[in-house]
Amino acid sequence: MSTSPGDALAEVIRAEYPRILATLIRVTGDVNLAEDALQDAVVRALQTWPRDGLPLSPKAWLTTAARRCAIDRIRREAMRTGKEAAAVFVFDSDGPEPPDSVVQDDLLRLVFTCCHPALATDTQVALSLRTLAGLTTTEVSRALLVPEPTMAKRLTRAKQKIAHAGIPYRVPTDSELPDRLPAVAAVVYLIFNEGYASVGAEPIRAGLVGEAIRLGRLLLELMPDEASVRGLLALMLLQDSRRLARVASDGSLTVLAEQDRSRWDRNQIDEGVVLVGSALARSPDRPDPYVVQAAIAACHAIAPRYEDTDWGAVVSWYDVLLTVSDNPVVRLNRAAALAELAGPAVSLAEVDRITGLESYPWWHAARGELLLRLGRLNESAAAADQASALGLTEPHLAHLRRRLAAGGVGSG
Amino acid sequence: MPTYAALIYTPDVDWSQADQAAMMAEYGAFGEAATAVIRGGEALYPTATATTVRVQGGKGGDPLITDGPYADTKEALTGFYLLECADLDEAVSWAQQIPGAWQGAVEVRPIIPLG
């Protein structure tokens, strides 16, 4: 596959960047220096690998080179400022590579540094993509639809804040973990949703979805005992398993009921379902929101046909979800499931009881769907227009519009 | 170890008045609890006592002296502490015990080590 050093290097960087960086941050105590030094090493590799051939272990080569580059940078800085470069001797650039367990700990520290509550959420997302997913600044700015200079500035400020404000580079203690883990999961799920539920012109930005799943796998590797982490990865895998069936050839979104289930990714579903099971076994005391949402996704994933879905189970899971995360959007989703269990009239009554979603386009879209099923076409069309006026793009409304145009035929 | 300024922003208050004794006692309790990390700190007279100084036209230019605080806002800088802590997490854990954190807000800022 990867025969040219350029490809091999790109692959090594993607796979090993976060690990090399994480260890380098620990030994230098400086995110900026670590990143610059690793960048120097990458440039050096690009110069020498095509000439000398691929090293036996590209990762070891890069690690050693990055450490030497870090020392060079510290020395240069010391010469510039005339200060003693005491830090130069704190680590041995030619020392053996740290064992895997140490690298894992380094990486875990980096996860919690990137997702520290003293950083703005936008910044946490950008920093996680840059350092944990190993994307370049250009790639991060493209993925998040932010101009590159703005993104570069945001990342630089973040690293300055980490250094100057003394955001610690450590794994939270067991007692702190319940407070800190949700922020980490939220960042990864935000990245996933940025890709999966993008309301921009392109319905799914697969690149970001892939990055989020990679990060989810990384978290599972680092924290295998956390139910929340299992639930998060399961949820992302199960949602993403429908990717191919979710978008029609014309770019419009296909609703769950009409998706061709043979196009769902069975491997992802199998992995997701197993993860949900193991996550449920690990969360006996308090239901975890990600695990419960993954359980709901699993109910859909294992149904051979839409009409085979165990709607009773789906509604029950939503009731569980409401006990830990009661908000209008969860209520709306529960009401949508209730339509399949108890009919559109019962569901519409529930939807109309939810307050606080008047400016949420999906609330109007859901009302439009239920009104259509009840044969109230004019009201349905008005609801669809309202959803559109509130920013829901037409691909999301195509299904409803089509059936409205057909006079409610096939509204099932 | 880094030092942090914990800048206390609350509704304007005159700490020197007798009716603030209960509040001063709360600050006293914080001071006792945080004695190991406190490197300094002061309570400020209310913003009505503030004088703001500007020099127009660069160094040596015209001084402009105005009565009042730099920013006339509902919540004002009413005091500060200097806290020497291992990292931001520790500084934040102390800052949330400062009474100003629930009367207003406490801004935690790292201090540049000079010299």
Beta bridge partners, B31, equal none
Domain parsing of chain A, residue ranges: 5-87, 100-198
pLDDT at A241: 95
Among A116, A164, A168, beta carbon nearest to B110: A164
pLDDT at A393: 79
- Is B88 an 8 Å CB contact of chain A? yes
CA distance B53 to A301: 68
Contacts of A194 (CB under 8 A, 6+ apart): A125, A143, A144, A205, A208
Protein fold of A5-87 = Rna Polymerase Sigma Factor; Chain: A (1.10.1740)
pLDDT at A412: 43
Model confidence pLDDT, tens digit, residues A119-133: 999 999 999 999 988
CA distance B47 to B78: 8
pLDDT at A9: 67
Model confidence pLDDT, tens digit, residues B79-114: 999 999 999 999 999 999 999 999 999 999 999 988
Model confidence pLDDT, tens digit, residues A69-98: 999 998 888 888 776 655 555 555 556 677
pLDDT at A199: 46
Whether residues A167 and B92 touch (CB distance < 8 A) is answered with no
Interface list for chain A against chain B, based on CB atoms closer than 8 Å: 116, 118, 164-168
- Is B87 an 8 Å CB contact of chain A? yes
Percent of chain A with pLDDT over 70: 90
Residue B60 has pLDDT above 50, yes or no: yes
Protein fold of B3-110 = Alpha-Beta Plaits (3.30.70)
Nearest chain B Cα to A160, which residue? B110
Whether residues A167 and B86 touch (CB distance < 8 A) is answered with no
Enter the tokens of residue A179: 């407070």
pLDDT at A411: 44
| Interchain CB contacts (distance < 8 Å): A and B | 24
Q: Which amino acid is at A186?
A: A
Which of the four pLDDT bands, split at 50, 70 and 90, describes residue A157? Answer: very high
Residue A15 has pLDDT above 50, yes or no: yes
User: Which is more confidently placed, A76 or A149?
Assistant: A149
Whether residues A165 and B89 touch (CB distance < 8 A) is answered with no
3-state helix, strand, coil in chain B (%, to 5): 25, 35, 35
Nearest chain A Cα to B110, which residue? A165
The mean predicted confidence, pLDDT, of chain A is: 87
- Prediction pTM value: 0.82
Residue A148 has pLDDT above 60, yes or no: yes
Nearest chain B Cα to A169, which residue? B87
Whether residues A168 and B110 touch (CB distance < 8 A) is answered with no
User: Which is more confidently placed, A195 or B25?
Assistant: B25
Enter the tokens of residue A225: 């005992």
Residue A62 has pLDDT above 80, yes or no: yes
Q: A161, A167, A175: best mutation site toward chain B, by most B Cβ within 10 Å?
A: A167
Domain parsing of chain B, residue ranges: 3-110
Number of Cβ atoms within 10 Å of the Cβ of A292 = 26
Average confidence (pLDDT) over A101-126: 90
Residue A330 has pLDDT above 60, yes or no: yes
Residue B36 has pLDDT above 60, yes or no: yes
Whether residues B91 and A166 touch (CB distance < 8 A) is answered with yes
pLDDT at A1: 43
Nearest chain B Cα to A180, which residue? B89
SS3 A96: coil
The mean predicted confidence, pLDDT, of chain B is: 94
- The minimum CA-CA distance between B34 and chain A, rounded to whole Å, is 19
Provide ipTM, 2 decimals.
0.86
Q: For residues B105 and B5, is the Cβ–Cβ distance under 8 A?
A: no
- Is B5 an 8 Å CB contact of chain A? no
pLDDT at A91: 59
Which of the four pLDDT bands, split at 50, 70 and 90, describes residue A195? Answer: confident
- Is B101 an 8 Å CB contact of chain A? no
Whether residues A168 and B87 touch (CB distance < 8 A) is answered with yes
